[in-house]
């Protein structure tokens, strides 16, 4: 119990609308978030089978247009949410990183499917074991491939997350790079050591090679 | 019939050529590295290098095309693949024969059931097993349904690439109907894993065949709708005729297969020439084109959809009763009630789950006709439960290697149309 | 618009045996023996033409496999395509097999199909892993253009070079891939580097810098090239087809 620090009043964000923020800022927050959440323009980074289920979600039976998402922007500069649908091999990793960097704030990422979330069934030499090792992810949608209802549930979770953002919390829109001076910084060589049981396949012991 | 009206339409092209097709104005066809005659000298500049992809809506996956353009005419095209390479074949060497089946779904993900069937046909020949009659007909049904949904995706995405959005919605609506059937049978819409060595995942549930008949009754109406919209549409024809022509000799030389090869005039269909699953007993035609351009590929695939409906109707009529799985305890898991009560069945179950079925030493290659072309899995076995080599012969990979040949001399927008007509699926190309 | 002809026999450049015509009607094969059985008649023709270069043949599950001498592969394939009694005008696949048993050689496999005669043939050649024999076979790109990417993939996955291929570079993995050749049996499934290292390598690559020598020979892009690539170009590195 003693581990939970008390929130610092200078920087804390209050989720109680009556507490520290005024009525105008809360209404503005609501308006901005409502606008953002209900007109998310997806950037479909579809690579494999999940892309087909994404297309099925966008088609008439499941209809993503209900959520304001029918305008698929294939240019990252005009999109809000990057939906990574499908497995991402290492050859594609710099591409998705570059595309994420090209998206203007505010931006979110949905990792659709098992392969994008964790590498899925491709624990091999060529596949990134989860795009969260490359870009920050907001919502993970499990499934192989997830049903369109599953993807829609993930999108609704993202919408809920967006509604809970507050303008006074400026840190959420910052792009954080590893800070070498921070106490939490781990140098890359140490990361290699730390990832021994799972990373280096020569010393792999948790399952057969 | 009401009196028909004749409307004169002024075409922007020079009209119909002698073969009854709209004529294309050639743009700088002679001497591709020089500008079209009559153009001012300052317009003849250096060539441009344009990069399409790997993330691009119209490349049908993560394909990267590097084009050298002279104005808007493509002088050279270099495709880059491998952006979806996941190491399927390597993974396959560490999995039992039944465990590989989910990977076969994911490589050509538009044709999952077809891939599953192709895989087990090869595996069963490697094991020396012959399947039951009911299983054969069910697999034909699975393959043709899978062909239908793959061609529907091709149709939808090609129409979007060329600019028509509505057929995409029609085709995906039809796919939802097939998805309901596949989900009822295998439990999954897209990545079905519907076969096992020696049989299928399960028999079709009650009422499934009626559902299939209902689908077959309604589906040709959608095909007619697409036909009405596109086949004689001046825009469609103008954008697809004369594009990406491959002569029959070139097509054979480049190893093309499937609708790409048949549109060029070569009547090779694995179902007819090297039949499997008793396809010689089904009455169906194989459409063969004449010009080898994008329009012919469109017509060939449209006709294949109708022929698939024809095969399905025959298969539904002849579906015999009987067991689906072969009665061989070396490959098929015993029924659960036996595995928990009989010692022998329990041991069989244990061996099959822990070690997996073991084929004799040998190698086999069984090709099938996938919607993309000749698909086959090449197995090499050393007697253990995991293959020594599991090779996927990818039709889209070989078809795509001909794209530099096909797009030379065409415009940038034609590149997209030609790429769409090859019907590639990157999961299969990159594996 | 005219509908496509259904099985129009006038269109192809060769005659396909149609059902009902003299010749055999193709049917689904049943009761295939594991070993033995009728072999492909091309075996005798090959023996007659090439003699000692044809080492042995086997029939496994109905498919005929012919083992040939490595140096003669190009000639054999050219003859198989050109000779009218063989007419293997369709190359199905080029691949390789490495066995788990260390002493067995790597086999390079060609799958050939004759549409005219409805035959299938598997050609194999063996590359011993003794350290003295280079992993090299002649390329059949000159015979079938379809071998282009198939051989590139075989090189990418196994490290087998195809002599005479115009542009032999990696295709599925990137050209600077350092971990090795994935489908070799001494290559672990998860790769040789740790995951963190693999990610670092992957992210360090500039996605726009991956152009082949052929692409960057285009004058306009010259200025954007990194220095070492420009050196390679001016040094006269051959551009591929």
Contact criterion met (CB below 8 Å) for B211 and B184? yes
Residues C192 and C236 in one domain: yes
Residue B36 domain flag: no
> Does residue B387 fall inside a structural domain?
yes
| Weakest-pLDDT range from A166-180, B118-132, B340-354 | A166-180
Q: Hey, are the CB atoms on B286 and C6 less than 8 Å from each other?
A: yes
Question: Mapping DSSP to helix (H, G, I), strand (E, B) and coil, where does residue C223 land?
Answer: helix
Percent of chain B with pLDDT over 70: 89
Q: CB C63 to CB B363 under 8 A?
A: yes
Residue B11 has pLDDT above 50, yes or no: no
pLDDT score for A97: 87
For position B78, what pLDDT does the model report?
A: 85
Identify which of C179, C196, C201 has the shortest CB distance to residue A195.
C196
Is the pLDDT at A206 greater than 60? The verdict is: no
Report if residue C152 sits inside a domain.
yes
Is residue B17 predicted with pLDDT exceeding 80?
no
Regarding whether C96 and C66 lie in a shared domain, the answer is yes
Residues C83 and C150 in one domain: yes
3-state secondary structure of C17: coil
Query: Please, what's the b/e burial string for B82-107 (b: 16 or more CB within 10 A of its CB; e: otherwise)?
Result: bbbbbbbbbbbbbbbbbebbbbbbbb
Number of structural domains, chain C? Answer: 2
**For residue A139, what pLDDT is reported?**
93
Query: What is the rounded CA–CA span in Å between residue A64 and residue C2?
Result: 39
Mean pLDDT of B66-93: 88
pLDDT at C128: 93
Considering the domain boundaries, does residue C134 fall inside one?
Answer: yes
Query: Residue B430: how many CB atoms within 10 A of its CB?
Result: 32
Is B37 domain-assigned?
A: no
Q: Which of A163-177, B282-296, C134-148 has the lowest mean pLDDT?
A: A163-177
Greatest Cα-to-Cα distance within chain B, rounded to the nearest angstrom: 89
Chains contacting C with at least 3 CB pairs below 8 Å?
A, B
Q: Give the lowest-confidence range in A107-116, C9-18, C230-239.
A: C9-18
List phi, psi (to 5°) of B180: -60, -40
pLDDT value of residue C23: 52
Whole-number pLDDT of residue B90 = 93
pLDDT, tens digit, 9 for 90 and up, residues A23-32? 888 888 899 9
Q: Which of C135, C151, C172 is the last residue of a domain?
A: C172
Shortest distance, CA C94 to any CA of chain A (angstroms)? 22
Q: What chain A residue is nearest to C171 in terms of C-alpha separation?
A: A91
Q: Is residue C1 part of a domain?
A: no
Question: What letter does residue C211 receive in the DSSP assignment?
Answer: -
For chain C, the average pLDDT equals 80
User: Is C224 contained in some domain?
Assistant: yes
Task: Using alpha carbons, select from B264, B239, B272 the residue that is nearest to residue B402.
Answer: B264
Q: Are C88 and C102 in contact (CB under 8 A)?
A: no
Share in percent of chain C as helix, strand, coil (round to 5): 30, 20, 50
Q: Is residue C9 part of a domain?
A: no
pLDDT (0 to 100) of residue C97: 95
Indicate whether C241 pLDDT > 80: no
User: Hey, where are the domains in chain A?
Assistant: 31-62+74-195
Domain that holds residue B278: 88-430
Q: How far apart are CA A140 and CA A154, in angstroms?
A: 7
- The yes-or-no verdict on residue A83 having pLDDT over 80 is yes
Query: Is position B63 within any domain?
Result: no
Q: Is B122 exposed, middle or buried (0-12, 13-18, 19+ CB in 10 A)?
A: buried
Q: Is the pLDDT of residue C149 over 90?
A: yes
Packed helices B208-230 and B166-186: angle between N→C axes, nearest 10 degrees: 170
Interchain contact C8–B (C-beta under 8 A): yes
SS (H, E, C) chain B: CCCCCCCCCCCCCCCECCCCCECCCCCCCCCCCCCCCCCCHHHCCCCEEEEECCCCHHHCCCCEEEEEEECCEEEEEEEECCCCCCCHHHHHCCCCCCCCHHHHHHHCHHHHHHHHHHHHHHHHHHHCCCCCHHHHHHHHHHHHHHHHHHHHHHHHHHHHHHCCCHHHHHHHHHHHHHHHHHHHHHCCCCCCCCEECCEECCCCCCCHHHHHHHHHHHHHHHHHHHHHHHCCCHHHHHHHCCCCCCCHHHHHHCCCCCHHHHHCCCCCCHHHHCCCCCHHHCCCCCECCCCCCHHHHHHHHHHHHHHHHHHHHHHHHHCCCCCCCCCCCCCCCCCHHHHCCCHHHHHHHHHHHHCCCCCCCEEEEEEEEECCEEEEEEEEECCCCCCCEEEEECHHHHHHCCHHHHHCCCEHHHHHHHHHHHCCCHHHHHC
Greater confidence (C108 vs B50) lies with: C108
Report the pLDDT averaged over residues B312-321: 94
Answer with the residue of higher pLDDT: C13 or B78.
Answer: B78
Residue B47 lies in a domain: no
Top-confidence residue, B376 or C4 = B376
Residues C192, C207 within the same domain: yes
Does the pLDDT of residue B358 top 70, yes or no?
Answer: yes
- Higher pLDDT pick, B84 / A192: B84
More confident residue, C71 or C26: C71
Cα–Cα distance, A138 to A103 (Å, whole number): 15
DSSP structure class, residue C84 = T
Q: Which B residues in the span 80-119 are in contact with A, Cβ-Cβ below 8 Å?
A: 82-87, 90-91, 94, 102-103, 105-106, 109-110
Closest Cβ–Cβ partner in A48, A61, A96 for B427: A48
Rg of the Cα atoms in chain A:
19
Closest alpha carbon to C112 in B191, B340, B365: B365
Per residue, the 3-state secondary structure of chain A, as one string, reads: CCCCCCCCCCCCCCCCCCCCCCHHHHHHHHHHHHHHHCCCCEEEEECCHHHHHHHHHHCCCCCHHHHCCCCCCCCHHHCCEEEEECCCECCCHHHHHHHHHHCCCCCEEEEECHHHHHCCCCCCCCECCCHHHCCCCCEEECCCCCCHHHHHHHHHHHHHHHHCCCCCCHHHHCCCCCCCCCCCCCCHHHHHHHCHHHHCHHHCCCCCC
In this predicted structure, the answer to whether residue B120 has a pLDDT above a threshold of 70 is: yes
Structural domain total, chain B: 1
CA distance A146 to B190: 10
Which range among A135-139, A205-209, C194-198, C228-232 shows the weakest confidence by mean pLDDT? A205-209
Strands B73-80 and C106-114: unpaired
Cβ A200–C199 below 8 Å, yes or no? no
- Same-domain check for residues C166 and C183: no
| Range with the poorest average pLDDT among B73-87, B302-316, B386-400 | B73-87
CATH number, domain of B195, equals 1.10.645.10
Pairs of residues, one from chain B and one from chain C, whose beta carbons lie less than 8 Å apart:
202
Domain that holds residue C116: 31-172
Residue A85: closest C-alpha in chain B: B61
Instruction: With a cut of 90, say whether residue C216 has pLDDT above it.
Output: no
**Is the separation of the CB atoms in A49 and B103 below 8 Å?**
no
Among candidates A90, A97, A209 on the partner chain, residue whose Cβ is nearest the Cβ of C188: A209
* pLDDT number for residue A155: 94
Asked whether residue B356 is domain-assigned, the answer is: yes
Chain A contact partners (≥3 CB pairs within 8 A): B, C
Output phi, psi for B427, to 5 deg.
Answer: -60, -35
C5 belongs to a structural domain = no
pLDDT tens digits along B397-410: 999 999 988 988 89
With CB atoms and an 8 Å threshold, state whether C189 touches A123. Answer: yes
Residue percentage of chain C with pLDDT more than 90: 40
CATH of the domain at C143: 3.30.460.80
**Lowest-pLDDT choice from B2-6, B179-183, C95-99:** B2-6
Cis peptide before C133 (omega within 30 of 0): no
Residue B130 phi/psi, 5° resolution?
-115, 135
pLDDT of residue C168: 85
Burial class (CB in 10 A: 0-12, 13-18, 19+), C226: exposed
User: Under the phi-then-psi rule, with left for phi > 0, alpha for psi from -120 to 50, and beta for the rest, what region is A70?
Assistant: alpha
How far is A84 from A111, CA to CA, in rounded Å? 5
* Distance in Å, alpha carbon of C63 to nearest chain B alpha carbon: 7
Is pLDDT of C19 > 70? no
CA nearest neighbour of C96 among C87, C105, C106: C106
The pLDDT value recorded for residue B28 is 36
The whole-number pLDDT of residue B1 equals 39
Cα–Cα distance for residue pair B332/B309, rounded to 1 Å? 31
Chain B nearest CA to C172, separation (Å): 4
The mean-pLDDT minimum among A130-144, B323-337, C205-219 falls in C205-219
Average pLDDT over residues B113-119: 95
Closest CA to B190 of A54, A61, A89, A110: A54
Q: Residue C65 forms beta bridges with which residues?
A: C58, C122
Whole-angstrom distance, CA of residue B260 vs CA of residue B424: 11
Res A15: pLDDT: 59
Query: What are the C-alpha distances in Å from B205 to residues B183, B218, B277?
Result: 11, 21, 22
How confident is the prediction for chain A on average, in pLDDT?
81
Cα–Cα dist A151/A110, whole Å: 9
Is C40 within a domain?
Answer: yes
What's the mean pLDDT in B40-46? 52
Within 8 A of A47 by CB-CB distance, chain B residues are 61-62, 83-84, 426
Query: How many angstroms separate the CA of residue B128 from the nearest CA in chain C?
Result: 7
What is the β-pairing status of strands C63-68 and C119-127? parallel
Please tell me the least confidently modeled range out of B272-281, C95-104, C201-210.
C201-210
Q: What angle do CA B73, B55, C146 make, to 5 degrees?
A: 60
Cα separation, B216 vs B214, in Å, equals 5
**Is the Cβ–Cβ distance between C179 and C154 less than 8 Å?**
no
Does residue C235 carry a pLDDT above 70? no
pLDDT one-digit tens code per residue, C71-100: 999 999 999 999 998 889 999 999 999 999
Question: B56: pLDDT confidence band, cut at 50, 70 and 90?
Answer: confident
Tell me which of C172, C196, C230 is where a domain ends: C172
User: What's the pTM value of the predicted model, to 2 decimals?
Assistant: 0.84
Supply the CATH classification number for the domain A31-62+74-195.
Answer: 3.40.50.12280
First to last CA, chain A: 43
Nearest to A90 among C187, C188, C198 (CB): C198
The yes/no answer to whether this complex scores an ipTM above 0.95 is: no
Computed over its alpha carbons, how large is the radius of gyration of chain C?
Answer: 22
CA distances from B201 to B120, B190, B194, B326 (A): 12, 15, 5, 12
Cis peptide preceding B355, ω within 30 of 0:
no
Is residue B212, in this structure, part of any structural domain at all?
yes
Residue B182 lies in a domain: yes
Are the beta carbons of B169 and B176 closer than 8 angstroms? no
pLDDT(B332) > 50: yes
H or E segment and range at residue C159: none
Query: What's the pLDDT tens digit per position in B135-146?
Result: 999 999 999 999
Tell me how far apart the alpha carbons of residues B336 and B345 are, in angstroms, rounded to a whole number. Answer: 9
pLDDT at position B378: 95
φ, ψ dihedrals at B226, nearest 5°: -65, -40
- Looking at residue A193, what is its pLDDT? 59
Select the highest-mean-pLDDT range: B60-74, B287-301, C25-39: B287-301
Average pLDDT, chain B: 86
Domain assignment present for residue C25? The answer is: no
A–C: how many Cβ contacts below 8 A? 72
Q: CA C1 from chain center: how many Å?
A: 39
């Amino acid at each position: 119990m003693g581990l939970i620090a008390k929130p610092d009043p200078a920087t804390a964000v209050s989720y109680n609308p009556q507490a520290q923020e005024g009525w105008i800022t809360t209404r503005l927050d609501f308006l901005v978030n409502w606008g953002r959440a209900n007109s998310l323009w997806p950037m479909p980074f579809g690579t494999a089978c999940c892309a087909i289920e994404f297309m099925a979600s966008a088609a008439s039976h499941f209809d993503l247009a209900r959520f304001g998402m029918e305008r698929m922007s294939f240019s990252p500069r005009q999109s809000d949410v990057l939906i990574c649908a499908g497995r991402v091999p290492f050859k594609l990793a710099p591409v998705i990183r570059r595309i994420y960097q090209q998206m203007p704030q505010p931006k979110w990422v949905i990792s659709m499917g098992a392969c994008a979330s964790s590498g899925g069934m491709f624990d091999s030499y060529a596949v990134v074991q989860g795009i969260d090792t490359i870009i920050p992810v907001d919502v993970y949608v499990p499934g192989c491939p997830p049903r369109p209802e599953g993807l829609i549930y993930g999108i609704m979770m993202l919408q809920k997350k967006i509604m809970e953002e507050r303008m006074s919390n400026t840190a959420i829109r910052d792009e954080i790079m590893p800070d070498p001076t921070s106490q939490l910084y781990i140098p890359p060589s140490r990361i290699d050591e730390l990832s021994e049981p799972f990373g280096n396949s020569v010393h792999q012991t948790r399952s057969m090679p | 019939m009401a009196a028909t009206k004749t409307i004169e339409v002024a075409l922007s092209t020079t009209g119909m050529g002698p073969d009854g097709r709209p004529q294309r104005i050639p743009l700088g066809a002679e001497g591709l590295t020089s500008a079209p005659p009559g153009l001012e000298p300052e317009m003849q500049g250096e060539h441009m290098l344009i990069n399409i992809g790997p993330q691009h809506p119209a490349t049908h996956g993560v394909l990267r095309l590097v084009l050298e353009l002279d104005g808007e005419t493509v002088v050279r095209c270099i495709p880059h693949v491998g952006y979806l390479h996941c190491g399927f074949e390597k993974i396959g060497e560490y999995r039992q024969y039944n465990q590989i089946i989910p990977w076969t779904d994911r490589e050509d993900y538009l044709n999952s059931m077809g891939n599953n069937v192709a895989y087990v046909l090869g595996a069963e020949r490697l094991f020396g097993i012959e399947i039951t009659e009911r299983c054969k007909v069910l697999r034909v049904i699975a393959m043709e349904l899978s062909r239908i949904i793959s061609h529907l995706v091709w149709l939808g995405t090609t129409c979007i690439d060329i600019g028509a959005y509505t057929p995409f919605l029609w085709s995906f609506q039809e796919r939802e109907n097939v998805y309901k059937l596949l989900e009822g049978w295998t439990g999954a819409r897209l990545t079905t894993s519907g076969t096992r060595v020696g049989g299928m995942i399960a028999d079709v549930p009650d009422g499934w065949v009626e559902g299939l008949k209902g689908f077959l009754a309604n589906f040709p109406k959608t095909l007619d709708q697409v036909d009405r919209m596109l086949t004689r549409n001046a825009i469609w024809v103008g954008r697809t005729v004369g594009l990406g022509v491959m002569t029959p000799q070139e097509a054979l030389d480049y190893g093309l297969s499937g609708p790409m090869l048949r549109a060029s005039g070569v009547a090779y269909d694995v179902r007819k020439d090297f039949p499997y699953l008793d396809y010689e007993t089904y009455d169906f035609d194989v459409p063969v084109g004449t010009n080898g351009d994008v329009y012919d590929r469109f017509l060939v695939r449209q006709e294949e959809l109708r022929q698939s409906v024809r095969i399905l109707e025959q298969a539904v009529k002849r579906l015999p009763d009987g067991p689906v799985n072969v009665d061989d305890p070396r490959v098929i898991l015993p029924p659960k009630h036996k595995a928990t009560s009989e010692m022998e069945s329990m041991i069989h179950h244990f061996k099959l789950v822990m070690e997996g079925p073991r084929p004799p030493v040998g190698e086999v290659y069984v090709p099938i006709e996938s919607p993309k072309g000749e698909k086959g899995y090449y197995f090499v076995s050393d007697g253990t439960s995991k293959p020594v080599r599991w090779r996927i012969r990818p039709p889209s990979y070989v078809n795509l290697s001909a794209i530099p040949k096909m797009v030379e001399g065409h415009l940038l927008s034609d590149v997209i149309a030609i790429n769409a007509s090859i019907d590639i699926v990157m999961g299969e190309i990159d594996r | 618009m005219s509908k496509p002809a259904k099985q129009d026999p006038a269109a192809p450049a060769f005659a396909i045996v149609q059902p009902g015509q003299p010749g055999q009607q193709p049917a689904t094969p049943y009761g295939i023996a594991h070993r033995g059985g009728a072999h492909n008649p091309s075996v005798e023709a090959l023996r007659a033409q090439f003699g000692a270069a044809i080492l042995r043949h086997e029939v496994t599950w109905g498919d005929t496999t012919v083992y040939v001498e490595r140096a003669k592969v190009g000639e054999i394939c050219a003859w198989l395509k050109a000779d009218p009694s063989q007419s293997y005008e369709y190359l199905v696949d080029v691949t390789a097999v490495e066995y788990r048993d260390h002493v067995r050689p790597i086999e390079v496999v060609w799958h050939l199909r004759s549409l005219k005669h409805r035959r299938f043939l598997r050609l194999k050649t063996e590359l011993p892993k003794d350290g003295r024999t280079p992993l090299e076979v002649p390329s059949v790109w000159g015979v079938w253009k379809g071998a282009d990417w198939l051989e590139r993939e075989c090189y990418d996955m196994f490290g087998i070079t195809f002599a005479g291929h115009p542009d032999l570079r990696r295709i599925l993995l990137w050209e600077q891939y350092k971990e090795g050749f994935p489908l070799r049996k001494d290559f672990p499934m998860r790769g040789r580097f740790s995951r963190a290292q693999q990610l670092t390598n992957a992210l360090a690559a500039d996605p726009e810098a991956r152009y082949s020598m052929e692409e960057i020979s285009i004058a306009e892009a010259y200025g954007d090239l990194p220095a070492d690539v420009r050196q390679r170009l001016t040094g006269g590195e051959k551009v591929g087809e």
